[in-house]
Chain A
Amino acid sequence: MQMPATQPSSEIAYNGPMKILVIEDDREAADYLQKAFTEAGHTAHVAGDGETGFALADAGDYDVMVIDRMMPRRDGLSVIAGLRSRGNTTPVLILSALGEVDDRVTGLRAGGDDYLTKPYAFSELLARVEVLNRRASAKEAETVYRVGDLELDRLSHSVRRAAREITLQPREFRLLEYLMRHAGQVVTRTMLLENVWDYHFDPQTNVIDVHVSRLRGKIEKGFDKPILHTVRGAGYMLKGG
């Protein structure tokens, strides 16, 4: 328990500075991303076309890559496929202006890990990139998630807070499971809809908010400390302590 090296990182996700590679041919958009990532505390490198991006990605050690789909000299999907065939497993978020129903499938099939359609909100992009960060995604194998005094057992499907049992509906359990896996990170509404409901469209009403507030009622009611926080203009974050 006292050894910092084996201390499970489940209390709070790794949120330190990331090294991000942005491959985007639109100069203005690329500069904006670089500035915004830097302001968020990360380091971002920019490549203006597919070939340069491929060379940088192949040589550098990045935590996450953001790759535009349509670029001169070499398109994004080909860059990703090339990197994957060379054994590069750095998480990739694909940016696309196409937005057809099939594009997401095509992009993910080419080796991408997430997909975002232009135009997008930077808060959405940042949240997704931080979740993709390979140094933060070591939680898949854990069977028990702990955030503060909240505990979720993935095998017995039980949730307790401060040793008190909390009964959740199956969907609420999945919602909490996702939030806890990415505890300490901002999770957007579309990320929740995608990962908990497996739908990729914009719901007309604030359906997700209502689900979250219902869950919040169950895990916060009767406890003095809030644990599920709303991040203004972005989404939600589960954070203990």
Chain B
Amino acid sequence: MALSVPAIMKTTAARLSALYLLLFALCAVLLVFYMTSLSARMLTAQTQETINDEVLGLARAYQRGGLPVLVRVVENRSRQPGANLYLIADANGQILTGNVQSLEPGVIDTEGWTTEPFSYKRFGEGELDRLRSGTSDQTTAPATGDNAARQSEGEQGHNAIALVLRLPNQMIMLVGRDLGEPERFRAVIRRALTLALGMMGLGGLLIWFFVGRAALKRIDSVSEASRRIMGGDLSGRLPVTGAGDEFDRLSENLNSMLARIATLNEGLKQVSDNIAHDLKTPLTRLRNRAEATLSGKHKPADYRQALEGTIAESDQLIKTFNAILMISRLEAGYSSEHTNRVDLAAAVRDVAELYEPVAEEAGVSLQAEVNGAFLVDGNRELIGQALSNIVDNAIKYSTDSTSKPAVRVTLERTHGEIRLCVADNGQGIPDDADRARATERFVRLEKSRSQPGSGLGLSLAKAVMTFHYGQLDLLPGNPGLSVVMSFPAREDH
């Protein structure tokens, strides 16, 4: 997978990862700042508490023996290793005792806690600094609030916070604590956090690289397979690993979609084959008739007759063509917003009434025995067309009956179904295979070839039943044939 950087960024996974990484980094930086500032505040509070304790002790010493005792205690404590800062100065700010050699000016002028860390120098540090910097003035140079100056001083000396008190004799006492330790602590925390976050980020990148790459590989294999299918290999299917994950589910769904498309495609191919086969014959006939009329001399009446025949033949072609189209649309699950409540009993009465004169003329008794209402969800027009095709057939094929030809239309409700049965007493279709084939497109069983018709009547009826979520069955009658249209009954019945 040699993907260049822009190509990588084109994948959703990479873009999402980059976004997450950015958010994560932002959060991490905020966290570091929050943690360090929190710890700094905690450390300052702790320092102040220590100083308070210290001052309390010194106050007790002062109460016990006045200034001399205080000075002695201060000197004692000053000499201890890692001692706090102590300073006692006279009212003018002249340092009398303590372990502080010099201070930022102004620090001891106001009583109470110093508002900001100040820089100072302990005894014994001066020479070293002077050697290092080459100037003694800088250590005591007035820091005029200039940040840079104070920082440079802080680097040479130390930073501290302190409590400044005025003794009853107007002398000034300062007790402070060096900030070096808390600062170091803060730096350690910051470093640790930064390191940890950096490692987490790196880990995230690695995880993305391996996990994301696996996902990309799956997607690539799916695209590869779909390219093959688009290339014409319609039998191809997307890979399913069997892991049952979302990729497998996606592939399975796409595969069943492909299967459905293949079925429809097959149906379409069959329709076009049938159209080609069954329209070619009449079209050829049409063409031959026109050609024959044109060649040779004929009387005007012959031309007229030929043209009339041509029109009649083309009308039949159009009918056939329309029927094929309709069947295909119905089978393709054409959805109609004009499906509504249809009373099958009314449909039966209508069609029976429509065909009654035809039946009478053919010497067939057409009986429709329907009582009450049989409601289904459907399209009245389509049901009427299907039923009239079936009744039409029944009348045609009952004429070869051995007894008095009769067609009976009945309606009955059985568990969850409404069965509309059209039964004739003709010869029927004795052969089971023939009966099964009779609803296929253009199938005209041997004995029906003499009858007019396109061979699409029952196919259309079957497609109409499919459209209504029902089915069409051809059952052997006794004698004759029973065509049964089964509709799912409406829920409210």
**A residues engaging B (CB < 8 A)?**
99-102, 105, 117, 119, 121, 171, 197, 199-207, 210-211, 214, 233
Contacts and interface: CB of A to CB of B under 8 A. Distances in A.
Contact of B381 (A99, A201, A204): A201
A207 B357 contact: yes
Given A101-B381, A102-B337, A211-B357, A204 B392 contact: yes
Interface string B340-365: 00000000001001110110010000
Nearest to B382: A101
B322 A202 contact: yes
Interface of B: 308, 311, 314-315, 318-319, 322, 325-326, 329, 334, 336-338, 350, 353-355, 357-358, 361, 379, 381-382, 384-385, 388-389, 392, 452-453, 457
B334 A100 contact: yes
A101 B389 CA distance: 17
Contacts of A203: 354, 388, 392
24 contacts: A99-B322, A100-B329, A101-B338, A101-B379, A102-B336, A102-B338, A121-B311, A199-B350, A199-B354, A199-B381, A199-B385, A199-B388, A200-B381, A201-B388, A202-B322, A204-B452, A204-B457, A205-B392, A207-B354, A207-B357, A210-B357, A210-B361, A211-B357, A214-B357
A208 to B, nearest CB: 9
Given A119-B318, A202-B319, A233 B308 contact: yes
Nearest to B393: A204
A61 B357 CA distance: 45
A32 to B, nearest CB: 14
Contacts of B311: 121, 233
B361 A199 contact: no
Closest 8 CB pairs of A and B: A210-B357, A201-B385, A204-B392, A210-B358, A214-B357, A199-B384, A207-B358, A211-B357
A22 to B, nearest CB: 21
Contacts of A211: 354, 357
B354 A197 contact: yes
Contacts of A202: 319, 322
B420 to A, nearest CB: 17
Nearest to B456: A204
Contacts of B319: 202
